[in-house]
Chains A and B, each alone.
Chain A
Amino acid sequence: MPDAQTLWLISPELVLAIFGLAILLFAIIWRERVYGALAWVALVGLALALAAAVNLWGAHARLFAGMYAVDMFALFFKIVAPIAGILVVLISMDYLRERTRYRGEFFVLLTFAILAMMMMASSANLLMIFLSIEFLSYMSYLLTGFLREDRKSNEAAIKYLLYGAITSAVMLYGLSLLYGISGSLNLGDVALTFSKSADTSVQTLALVATALVLAGLGFKISLVPFHQWAPDAYEGAPTPVTAFLSVGPKAVGFAVLLRFTLTTLPGLPEFANYWTPLLVIISIATMTLGNLVALRQTNVKRLLAYSSIAQAGYMLIGLVAVNLGGSSPFSGLNGVLIYLFAYLFTNLGAFVCVIAIENATGIVEIPEYAGLVKRAPLVAALFIVFFLSLAGIPPTAGFVGKFFVFGAALREGFLVLAAIGVLNSVISVFYYFGVVRAAFFLEPKDTSPIRVAPLVTLSLVVTAAMVLLIAVYPEPLFNLAAWSMAMLK
């Protein structure tokens, strides 16, 4: 039986597990009668988990024989995860009521998905990494295919599942190689073995193993060339799930990638010579491909899918240029964290806009957004805010994120990478503003006003306020990111 201190340290996870199971029970016992209330139960659970995570701030512990790290880096993501969960619940209530009878289970899956995200953030052990990623993946597959009667939703889930199965097998192979080299599943021990080994073949094998692990994480983060599932899954999935997939798994995918690379790889002095160019190429390919293909999209969900692929490419710049030495404010790592936090609100906000329109009219095709400013002025106006933020134009949160990842790239001398990054953001303006163009400049066929549900309006206002607030007063976010890095030093 774990002691009280341990239970305290995993209280966010416990809260989510208890609430998830409770919602499942309620949904089974009382069925339709309580479906409406279950969303609120999930909200309470997520809010409590958020409070528990905030309350643990400052903790630094390794639990369960070193498998599970409760440090500020993990807590950063344990704060991000429930926030994402809360926003997704808020936007999914009306959406689901219109589309399916089985709403209750949705909130079970979502709560467990948030739990899985938290576990990924804390994983400090190869096996734990694999299990938590699989946990999140299964929840994601089910959520994607949640609209049973919708063939697109089913197709999306199958595609997602097949890709996921292959990449996780590849990753497992990589993990087993790492275990083979070091004889330990613990990330710290793996790092230790690396640093002690004088054998050059260890270097080679480590590179192969790490590359294989990258396949699994690249799938979660949607890095090129592991991105192909994303557009189809995003398009077919219920839109709140798309919103979730575009931020949740991506954020914690980065959490694992950062923890994994920053704890195990410093032991390999030669390693960076191969690893960095690989990441540079992946970053450039991800940004450029995502942006170029997005130019051709007419479905707003697909457009945001490609846009979110491109966004992952920008974030990767922060990892490429990571340098935790010195007192520079551009450590690369803080850039990724700030970027992720800004992206969370920005991208969710953009999806709230999409959902606001889709709920009332079913429209997801950009040409049909014509005259949106007359039909739903708030939504149309906030589209601009979120798109400016995605493109990294001030005064928005996205600008702050880009500022720090590009700053890290410049600090480490990756001039070309930074230049390609900023030019990519110029390309992205073209397609983001394609949506704005339709919404503001074209004449609508149907001029009836679009009614936006109160909860959706609330989510819109909250996300937009955060996007602007982070830009005007970014100091707390910098401090949050700076403290989160402490564990990795």
Chain B
Amino acid sequence: MVPFALSLLVLLPLVGAAIVLLIPKGQKSDSLIKWFAVVWSVIPLLLASYLWFVLFDPNASKMQFEEAYLWISSINVRYHVGVDGLSMPLVWLTTLLTVLGLFYSSYVIHERAREFFFMFLLLETGMIGVFVSLDFFLFYVFWELGLVPMYFLIAIWGHAEDRPQYSAIKFFLYTLVGSVLMLLAIIAMYINTSTATTPGTFDLIELATKRPFANDFVFASLAFWGIFLAFAIKVPLFPFHTWLPDAHTAAPTAGSVILAGILLKLGTYGFVRVLVPIFPQVFQANVLPIAILATISIVYGALVAMAQTDFKRLIAYSSVNHMGYVILGVAAAVAIGGANLTDRAIALNGAMLQMFNHGVITGALFFIVGILYERAHTRDLKSFGGLGAKTPVYGAILLTASFASLGLPGLAGFISEFMVFRGAFATLPLIATICVLGIVFGAAMMLWKVIQNVLLGVFDEKRWAEQEKHGVKLYDMTRFEVITLAPLLFLMVLIGVYPSVILNTLNTISVAILGQIVK
């Protein structure tokens, strides 16, 4: 047993960030900062791995490694943290992607390194904090804590031609609009659960049993939609997605990886952790509109992605498509209909697995885009071609990640999307049928726009040679780039071939959640 394990996980990156600030200035301080940050970030990864693979009980449906202390007694706010099968994989993924992001950045970030690594570690604290918080007040604090570092990561280290400052403030304001309405809902739930003699509660576990506004559908709906908006913007669900392509495109490579890999998951995680258990009735009453928004995200997201000529923007829009499956899975799991618990659990398992997979696959794809951009100084898909032969390692990795993304059997993406559809056909057959179009378009965008444009075709020797004058130099993946991507590729194959490694963990919790809400 590790005492204060989760608190350590939250605090370690923060302490690391503070140390980064304290490293004295000097000629070598930049490389010192980089190596310190990378090595330091491995500690949370090791701790999270130990917690998940050794101590975590995948068959227990209750919270594990729980810690609870009274924080603000007059409003009954507790420092209450804990993980279950829903949050443990995401916490682990956060620590993994942070290590990879910092490792990759230590090679490519040359300006203002101190600030970069400080912000990145601060961001990690915010993200882990959201996943482990079981008190809504605490959850909100961490939720907001992640905003500021991401804002700086986009704005300072973004690519100048992508309007990073505009994209950064857009990201900030969009997220904030949702957050503040969620804050009102949080307070309203507290007031509603309080009585003349007892204080209300912010505790997510207690709220799920107390069900605030149980007898007042109007207020329950207001609170539901307030929280829904915060999460939907983060996911992002159509029509709240417009911040995403800008932010993704402008962000530096590691920033995009974290943004796609983790920050989007905060939204879907909120759906499963907060909206489903606390507002099951309202959610069920509104399944159809939510499923329709998911459908639009899936189909429209894929179509818009297909229309992009910018590699990074394409991947960004593909996130809208892929995150749509998560929401579809959640909606299918709670929908009113004839389906039994097994069908629903499959849908929710698929949604939860899709969160994890999307983090792995899209994280990898953003690294891949970044690697190409470092060489070509452009992301215009039309300016590539024939790279498969010239840079075979790069080609192989891009192929694998693209196939995983489009859902090729044997790779991770297939399993989760299959499960989402398997569940959705049982409860929302019509919607699921329409959503299959997303799979088709998704395959088209990856095969046609990415693989064909980048890897196949004729390599234009003359143009590349000419470009070399402008500092463009094409070479295959170097060792540090392969090291960065290797763990992600491994996970894609592992989950694709043997999904039980993670599904057992997820299944316990989705049965538990659904058991509480479906009669």
Contacts and interface: CB of A to CB of B under 8 A. Distances in A.
Interface stretch (A25-33, A175-183, A299-307, A407-415): A407-415
B152 interface: yes
Nearest to A384: B148
A444 interface: no
Given A329-B199, A406-B187, A474-B72, A440 B169 contact: no
B74 A475 contact: yes
Contacts of A479: 74
Contacts of B115: 373
A410 B184 contact: yes
Interface in B110-165: 115, 140-141, 144-145, 147-148, 151-152, 155-156, 165
A12 to B, nearest CB: 27
Contacts of A435: none
Contact of A437 (B75, B165, B194): B165
Contact of A329 (B75, B148, B165, B173): B75
A388 interface: yes
Contacts of A394: 140-141, 144-145
B141 A426 contact: no
Given A422-B184, A425-B180, A395 B145 contact: yes
B191 interface: yes
A411 B191 contact: yes
A423 interface: yes
B176 A437 contact: no
Interface in B35-75: 72-75
Contacts of B73: 475
Nearest to A395: B141
A429 B176 contact: yes
A418 B191 CA distance: 14
Contact of A441 (B74, B145, B155, B194): B155
Given A327-B196, A410-B191, A440-B155, A423 B177 contact: yes
B196 A423 contact: no
Interface in A353-388: 373, 384, 388
A437 B173 contact: no
Contacts of A63: none
Q: Which of B115, B180, B184, B187: most chain A Cβ within 10 A?
A: B180
Contacts of B397: none
A326 B191 CA distance: 12
A430 B168 CA distance: 11
Contact of B169 (A410, A423, A437): A437
Contacts of B152: 440
B172 interface: yes
A433 interface: yes
B472 interface: no
B148 A419 contact: no
Interface residues of B, number: 34
Q: Chain B: interface secondary structure?
A: helix
Interface string B180-193: 11011001101100
B222 interface: yes
A366 to B, nearest CB: 14
Contacts of A327: 196-197
Contacts of A384: 148
A403 B177 CA distance: 16
Given A330-B191, A410-B191, A475 B72 contact: yes
Nearest to A474: B72
A275 interface: no
A285 interface: no
Contacts of B190: 407
A388 B140 contact: no
Interface string A419-453: 10011011001100100010011000000000000
A433 B194 contact: no
Contacts of B176: 393, 426, 429
A394 B156 CA distance: 22
Given A406-B183, A422-B184, A430 B169 contact: yes
A425 B180 CA distance: 9
Interface string A166-184: 0000000000000000000
Contacts of B74: 329, 475, 478-479, 482
Contacts of A475: 72-74
A433 B151 CA distance: 10
Nearest to B199: A329
A403 B187 contact: yes
Contact of A422 (B151, B173, B181): B181
Interface in B430-449: none
A393 B191 contact: no
Contact of A429 (B173, B184, B194, B222): B173
A273 interface: no
A328 interface: yes
Contact of A393 (B72, B144, B222): B144
A423 B180 contact: yes
B118 to A, nearest CB: 10
Contacts of B177: 423, 426
Nearest to B73: A475
Contact of B196 (A326, A403, A474): A326
B191 A328 contact: yes
A194 B187 CA distance: 36
A461 to B, nearest CB: 15
Contacts of B151: 433
B172 A433 contact: yes
A315 B360 CA distance: 46
Nearest to A392: B180
Contacts of B169: 430, 433, 437
A326 B198 CA distance: 11
B494 to A, nearest CB: 38
A394 B144 CA distance: 6
Interface in A315-366: 326-330
Nearest to A400: B72
Interface in A466-489: 474-475, 478-479, 482
B297 to A, nearest CB: 24
B184 A406 contact: yes
Nearest to B155: A441
With most chain B CB atoms within 10 A of its CB, the pick from A326, A329, A406, A423 is A329
Of A326, A393, A395, the most chain B CB neighbours within 10 A belong to A393
Nearest to A482: B74
B75 to A, nearest CB: 5
A406 B180 CA distance: 11
Contacts of B145: 394-395
Contacts of A425: 180
Contacts of A330: 187, 191
Contacts of A430: 169, 173
Interface string A29-64: 000000000000000000000000000000000000
Contacts of B187: 330, 403, 406-407, 410
Residue with the greatest number of chain B CB neighbours at <10 A, chosen from A410, A415, A423, A482: A410
A177 B144 CA distance: 50
A475 B73 CA distance: 7
Contacts of A399: 144
Contact of B165 (A388, A429, A441): A441
7 contacts: A329-B199, A395-B144, A406-B187, A415-B184, A429-B172, A441-B165, A478-B75
Q: Which 10 A-B pairs have the closest CB atoms?
A: A422-B180, A394-B141, A478-B74, A407-B187, A329-B75, A426-B176, A410-B188, A394-B144, A411-B191, A393-B144
Interface of A: 326-330, 373, 384, 388, 393-395, 399, 403, 406-407, 410-411, 415, 418-419, 422-423, 425-426, 429-430, 433, 437, 440-441, 474-475, 478-479, 482
Interface of B: 72-75, 115, 140-141, 144-145, 147-148, 151-152, 155-156, 165, 169, 172-173, 176-177, 180-181, 183-184, 187-188, 190-191, 194, 196-197, 199, 222
Given A395-B144, A395-B145, A433-B151, 9 more contacts: A326-B196, A329-B74, A388-B148, A407-B190, A422-B183, A422-B184, A423-B180, A426-B180, A478-B72
